[in-house]
Chains A and B, each alone.
Chain A
Amino acid sequence: MTFEYAPAPESRAIVDIAPSYGLFIDGEFVEAADGKVFKTISPATEEVLSEVAQAGEADVDRAVRAARKAFEKWSALPGAERAKYLFRIARIIQERARELAVLETLDNGKPIRETRDADLPLVAAHFFYYAGWADKLDHAGFGPSPRPLGVAGQVIPWNFPLLMLAWKIAPALATGNTVVLKPAETTPLSALFFADICRQAGLPKGVVNILPGYGDAGAAVVAHPDVNKVAFTGSTAVGKEIARTVAGTSKKLTLELGGKGANIVFDDAPIDQAVEGIVGGIFFNQGQVCCAGSRLLVQESIQDELLDSLKRRLSTLRLGDPLDKNTDIGAINSAEQLARITALADQGEAEGAERWSPACELPSSGYWFAPTLFTNVTQAHTVARDEIFGPVLSVLTFRTPDEAVAKANNTPYGLSAGIWTEKGSRILAVANKLRAGVVWSNTFNKFDPTSPFGGYKESGFGREGGRHGLEAYLDV
């Protein structure tokens, strides 16, 4: 007999998903003006979870008007009063964390281990953190009594549905703005549960409005003339479109877009921990992370040794039921995304990069992609340049620190990077030269509400999180 772990699926009974949901406008769940609905499914099983109202232009207008009306009272509240609501929301999120974690895993396909241990604690932490800022804005370094912008139109992606919501809504509310938020069409449920939490917290009507829908609804939010601030996290292509739409208006804009993060491993790195960091860097959330360490830059002298360790480690990754606590790799979020990952990986192979995956059985239903390594990759390969947004790691080598920096920076993106070395002075020297919004040293994919996050170049502009994150929602 071998040492098999028993399946340990988290119970679904803790979450009660209704057969249908409306749009959340002015404190009420309402049907879409044109009555449209769409289905949201579990990517791990393709089971339909619920039917959700689909927002159109008229709904966006309704929501923006509600937010505008609410803005007057909300922005006039003393900071300490706004903080009270935010603290209340944070506490309710903690109380309902298990329920929300299961819900998020069902709707998104990511492992419960991640929603339970990473997403939800961070969601609550963001609300707590910005609740703390709400009555201290005068001391945040943006001048005396900085003013809110007004109605914030926010469009968020499907990779961290609730966490991205928290990143957007918490600072917006703390600074006195009201919100119209459009969650991604594949993952609307946790945002709708959040709407319920807003009601549970007694948040005044219209302060938060949630509009599930497709790209057209997002475009309508961005283009609405009465929206003062646009915040978007998602693909670079859509980000560019938004920038075009917003250009020439008085709207403020922050964009968090794609990335092709370099994870640089020097020959004196703590190898075993670096391997863990590489795994966490690219296989966390099936690589569907904008700041994923999708390019591994390894010093040539330790390439073989590191790759051996990495392959051995990948062979222990457990892919399967995302609700099982032992699962490391869950499902890809949608058929569309799976197709994109598959196409890019095939292209990598066609271009001559060497493809490797551990022996790994994929479930018969749902959207799955085995963890994949590409070696013999050069800067010219598509898999080294394009954001794949999936569990695919491209391995490149370098000989000197200068070469590592040059290769790391040789990308249209600039969101994240990692440095692995036991030499502190090298960490500082290299980090200073990397054109990336976040540089992790001897770790990867670590998030904290106090730490600003944002990119350079085609990874976007503006910062979320930390004191810096307030600036995007204040008239400064």
Chain B
Amino acid sequence: MPTTAHTLTDVAASDSTLRRFLHGLPGVDAVGLEARAASLGTRSIKTTAKAYAIDLAISMVDLTTLEGADTPGKVRALGAKAVHPDPTDRTTPATAAVCVYPDMVATAKQAVAGSTVKVASVATAFPAGRAPLSVKLADVREAVAAGADEIDMVIDRGAFLAGQYMKVYDEIVAVKEACGTSARLKVIFETGELSTYDNIRRASWLGMLAGADFIKTSTGKVAVNATPANTLLMLEAVRDFRAQTGIQVGVKPAGGIRTSKDAIKFLVLVNETAGEDWLDNHWFRFGASSLLNDLLMQRQKLATGRYSGPDYVTVD
């Protein structure tokens, strides 16, 4: 890294120090990054390792519904599923969280009451983030007041792409403050819109410097969401950040991870890049809605030796 832990505190002193720091981060060679992500995807995970990986993945799912058509009934169903993902097998671990819009937080909170399942809420004018800061902060405060344990915020990609890093930084700091001490903050970059790997690395560091508890790839609402390569890159960033500051930050790939096979590949990335310390739902999450059912079907298959099919898991 181009700096030491000592000088990190001064990085956000001004627009220019922040820019200099972010542009001084090591570059990313796209070909090499993608090749590494692909080669890690060939690790073989079978039998006991697979059973462990599937349960771990289930426990890392942020079961998500982010539709305009969401109803309290749907959110309650989601909550019930998060607590007991497979009603036929109570040994199935609960998911990490349910992820809903702010107006559904109270409903979700009731639905998972008494369980370990957290309620995450996408505040800050999700998914575009195109609203005044005052509106975004109000959004966050409402969600937190309603009981949200986690806030998923989107950054202002327009400001980031225009090079206004300080503006993005200040927004994250303000949102983190609005989260108070009760809610953890996940910062969503919308990596598909940042377009270069260099930008994704800069955004990761920007988010962490501003106090993110988690960095998250994307909203799931654009064409390119989580990929092995951008997740690998963010895992490198949290690993390096902890080495420099001692602060551990979580990672959440979101969108496009649909199969157990994909999820396990991501776990391999975590294991071999950031390390075992991140193999826990406090530090790694999957933002996904359809992934869980595939994990459940694979779990049933491992238990029974037979593939059950989609009618043997619940629809939301």
* Interface of A toward B, CB cutoff 8 Å: 1-6, 8, 113, 268-273, 276-277, 305, 308, 316, 325-326, 422, 442-443
Asked whether, in the complex, the Cβ of A113 is within 8 Å of the Cβ of B28, the reply is no
Instruction: Pick the contact of B32: A1, A2, A8, A277 (CB < 8 A).
Output: A277
- By beta carbon, the residue of chain A nearest B270 is A3
- Assembly CA distance A5 to B42 (angstroms): 11
Interface of chain B residues 24 through 82 with chain A (CB within 8 A) = 26-29, 31-33, 35-36, 42-50, 52-53, 56
- By beta carbon, the residue of chain A nearest B25 is A271
Instruction: Pick the contact of B31: A113, A271, A326, A443 (CB < 8 A).
Output: A443
Q: Mark B255-279, 1 if CB is under 8 A from A, else 0.
A: 0000000000001100110001001
Instruction: Pick the contact of A272: B26, B42, B276, B279 (CB < 8 A).
Output: B26
Say if the beta carbon of B316 comes within 8 Å of chain A.
no
Q: Mark B5-40, 1 if CB is under 8 A from A, else 0.
A: 000000000000000000000111101110110000
- By beta carbon, the residue of chain B nearest A1 is B52
Instruction: Pick the contact of B27: A5, A8, A269, A326 (CB < 8 A).
Output: A269
- By beta carbon, the residue of chain B nearest A328 is B39
- By beta carbon, the residue of chain B nearest A441 is B29
Q: Which residues from chain B contact A277 at a C-beta distance below 8 Å? A: 32
Asked whether, in the complex, the Cβ of B43 is within 8 Å of the Cβ of A326, the reply is yes
Asked whether, in the complex, the Cβ of A273 is within 8 Å of the Cβ of B32, the reply is yes
Asked whether, in the complex, the Cβ of A3 is within 8 Å of the Cβ of B279, the reply is yes
Interface size on B, residues (CB 8 A): 31
Classify the secondary structure of A's interface with B: loop
Contacts A3-B276, A326-B43; A273 near B49 (Cβ below 8 A): no
Q: Which residues from chain A contact B35 at a C-beta distance below 8 Å? A: 276
- Assembly CA distance A272 to B198 (angstroms): 12
Could you pull out 23 A-B pairs where Cβ atoms are within 8 angstroms?
A: A2-B279, A3-B52, A3-B53, A3-B271, A4-B49, A5-B43, A5-B45, A6-B44, A6-B50, A8-B46, A268-B26, A272-B26, A273-B31, A273-B33, A273-B36, A276-B35, A325-B42, A325-B43, A325-B44, A422-B27, A442-B29, A442-B31, A443-B32
Q: Which residues from chain A contact B36 at a C-beta distance below 8 Å? A: 272-273, 276
What is the CB-to-nearest-CB distance from A422 to chain B, in angstroms, rounded to a whole number? 4
Instruction: Pick the contact of B26: A4, A5, A269 (CB < 8 A).
Output: A269
Say if the beta carbon of B1 comes within 8 Å of chain A.
yes
- Assembly CA distance A54 to B315 (angstroms): 68
- By beta carbon, the residue of chain B nearest A421 is B27
Asked whether, in the complex, the Cβ of B29 is within 8 Å of the Cβ of A273, the reply is yes
- Assembly CA distance A316 to B36 (angstroms): 13
Contacts A3-B49, A273-B32; A326 near B44 (Cβ below 8 A): yes
- By beta carbon, the residue of chain A nearest B243 is A308
Having A276-B32, A326-B44, A443-B31, one finds 18 other A-B pairs with CB under 8 Å, namely A1-B52, A2-B279, A3-B52, A3-B267, A3-B279, A4-B48, A4-B49, A5-B44, A5-B45, A5-B49, A6-B47, A6-B49, A8-B46, A270-B26, A270-B29, A272-B32, A273-B31, A443-B32
- Assembly CA distance A61 to B279 (angstroms): 64
Q: Which residues from chain A contact B42 at a C-beta distance below 8 Å? A: 113, 325
- Assembly CA distance A271 to B36 (angstroms): 13
- Assembly CA distance A249 to B272 (angstroms): 56
- By beta carbon, the residue of chain A nearest B56 is A3
Asked whether, in the complex, the Cβ of A271 is within 8 Å of the Cβ of B32, the reply is no
- Assembly CA distance A325 to B45 (angstroms): 11
Q: Which residues from chain A contact B193 at a C-beta distance below 8 Å? A: none
Q: Which residues from chain A contact B1 at a C-beta distance below 8 Å? A: 305
Classify the secondary structure of B's interface with A: helix
- Assembly CA distance A271 to B24 (angstroms): 12
- Assembly CA distance A443 to B30 (angstroms): 11
- Assembly CA distance A254 to B122 (angstroms): 66
Say if the beta carbon of B236 comes within 8 Å of chain A.
yes
Asked whether, in the complex, the Cβ of B28 is within 8 Å of the Cβ of A273, the reply is yes
- Assembly CA distance A113 to B32 (angstroms): 18
- Assembly CA distance A113 to B41 (angstroms): 12
Asked whether, in the complex, the Cβ of A6 is within 8 Å of the Cβ of B48, the reply is yes
What is the CB-to-nearest-CB distance from A365 to chain B, in angstroms, rounded to a whole number? 24
Q: Which residues from chain B contact A276 at a C-beta distance below 8 Å? A: 32, 35-36
What is the CB-to-nearest-CB distance from B241 to chain A, in angstroms, rounded to a whole number? 14
Q: Which residues from chain A contact B272 at a C-beta distance below 8 Å? A: 316
Q: Enumerate the 8 nearest inter-chain pairs by beta-carbon distance, A residue then B residue, closest first.
A: A273-B32, A8-B44, A6-B46, A422-B27, A273-B29, A270-B29, A271-B26, A270-B27
Contacts A1-B52, A277-B32, A305-B1; A6 near B45 (Cβ below 8 A): yes
- Assembly CA distance A8 to B32 (angstroms): 26
- Assembly CA distance A205 to B12 (angstroms): 76
What is the CB-to-nearest-CB distance from B286 to chain A, in angstroms, rounded to a whole number? 15
Asked whether, in the complex, the Cβ of B236 is within 8 Å of the Cβ of A272, the reply is yes
Asked whether, in the complex, the Cβ of B44 is within 8 Å of the Cβ of A270, the reply is no
What is the CB-to-nearest-CB distance from A1 to chain B, in angstroms, rounded to a whole number? 6
- Assembly CA distance A2 to B280 (angstroms): 11
What is the CB-to-nearest-CB distance from A311 to chain B, in angstroms, rounded to a whole number? 12
Interface of chain B residues 175 through 210 with chain A (CB within 8 A) = none
What is the CB-to-nearest-CB distance from A62 to chain B, in angstroms, rounded to a whole number? 45
- By beta carbon, the residue of chain B nearest A316 is B272
Q: Mark B268-302, 1 if CB is under 8 A from A, else 0.
A: 10011000100100000000000000000000000
Q: Mark B160-172, 1 if CB is under 8 A from A, else 0.
A: 0000000000000
Asked whether, in the complex, the Cβ of A442 is within 8 Å of the Cβ of B53, the reply is no
Asked whether, in the complex, the Cβ of B49 is within 8 Å of the Cβ of A272, the reply is no
Q: Which residues from chain A contact B53 at a C-beta distance below 8 Å? A: 3
What is the CB-to-nearest-CB distance from A240 to chain B, in angstroms, rounded to a whole number? 37
Interface of chain B residues 103 through 151 with chain A (CB within 8 A) = none
- Assembly CA distance A41 to B42 (angstroms): 28
Q: Which residues from chain B contact A268 at a C-beta distance below 8 Å? A: 26-27
What is the CB-to-nearest-CB distance from A424 to chain B, in angstroms, rounded to a whole number? 11
Q: Which residues from chain A contact B32 at a C-beta distance below 8 Å? A: 270, 272-273, 276-277, 442-443
- Assembly CA distance A287 to B272 (angstroms): 22
- Assembly CA distance A443 to B233 (angstroms): 18
Q: Which residues from chain B contact A442 at a C-beta distance below 8 Å? A: 29, 31-32
- Assembly CA distance A305 to B244 (angstroms): 11
- Assembly CA distance A422 to B24 (angstroms): 12
